[in-house]
Amino acid sequence: MGYKEQMKIAVYPGSFDPITQGHVSIINGGLVAFDKVIVGVLSNPKKTALFSAEERMDMIREVFIDEDRVEVDAFEGLLVNFVRHKGSRVILRGLRAVADFEYELQMANMNRKLSEDIETIFIMANDAYFYVASGLVKEVAKLGGDISSLVPNVVHQRLLAKLSTR
């Protein structure tokens, strides 16, 4: 099968602890340009996540239950290895603010150094969510703030339940 006949697959990596409406907008943007978006949930044993990798994957699957072009999988180690394993040559990344760009540019260049055949594509976050980050959402929720418009409903319910047991 020639390159033009191959399915165009992008891998969107992140911790997604939890997935926010900003992440959802990036995934939906990716679906405009690609046949399939694989959401790669980073499982990093050195970081303490609020939700387990399995819980995060379950929430993402629920958010995209009606979209068969979104696949969810966990990974550890080098992103370029995961991307290659998934049959892709594209890393999809979201940009929110100028501060994101410097970090993302560093990561894109490192990934290019590790694997010249893998390209990073940036998508701007939806204007309504450019300031939303998972850490900020968790902090506001812990302090009793209303985050219902910042995360999908399934995430809102699970986040409130998780925080009520702490």
Question: What distance in Å separates the CA atoms of residue 71 and residue 135, rounded to the nearest whole number?
Answer: 24
Q: Residue 146's CB: how many other CB atoms inside 10 A?
A: 9
Instruction: List the alpha helices (DSSP H) in 34-94.
Output: 53-63, 79-85
The catalytically annotated residue of 134, 138, 156, 158 is: 134
The catalytically annotated residue of 4, 46, 47, 166 is: 47
Question: What distance in Å separates the CA atoms of residue 15 and residue 126, rounded to the nearest whole number?
Answer: 19
Give the DSSP per-residue string, 109-154: HHHHHH-TT-EEEEEEPPGGGTT--HHHHHHHHHTT---TTTS-HH
Residue with tokens 């340009």: 33
Residue with tokens 């959401």: 39
Could you tell me the CA-to-CA distances from 13 to 46, 56, 163 in Å, in that order? 17, 12, 25
The catalytically annotated residue of 36, 89, 96, 138 is: 96
> Is-catalytic flag, 134?
yes
Give Cα 71 to chain centroid, integer Å: 11
The catalytically annotated residue of 23, 36, 156, 158 is: 23
The 8-class DSSP code of residue 129 comes to G
> Is-catalytic flag, 47?
yes
> Is-catalytic flag, 96?
yes
Catalytic center residues = 23, 47, 96, 134
